[in-house]
Amino acid sequence: MAKDLDLTESALRNWVREADGGEDKSPAAGALTGAEREELVRLRKENRQRTMERDFLKKAAAFFAKEGST
């Protein structure tokens, strides 16, 4: 069909994807391997830890800024 329309296959595929709402419908889309799933869990845990550390440091900085101004 792409040849009939004088298009590249990738251009036609992109048009179809856009018409379908922009989602990739390939079987591998969204599927994670075991290693990727483990990495995702690890990274989310690290992210939670870093967020807690950041929040603590913000509170500590605000506390010491308040203490220094009194």
Per-residue model confidence as pLDDT tens digits over 1-51: 666 767 788 877 887 888 887 665 555 667 899 999 999 999 999 999 999
pTM to 2 decimal places: 0.51
d(CA 1, CA 10): 12
List C-alpha distances in Å: 11 to 5, 14, 22.
11, 5, 13
Instruction: Please tell me the number of Cα atoms within 13 Å of 53 on its side-chain side.
Output: 6
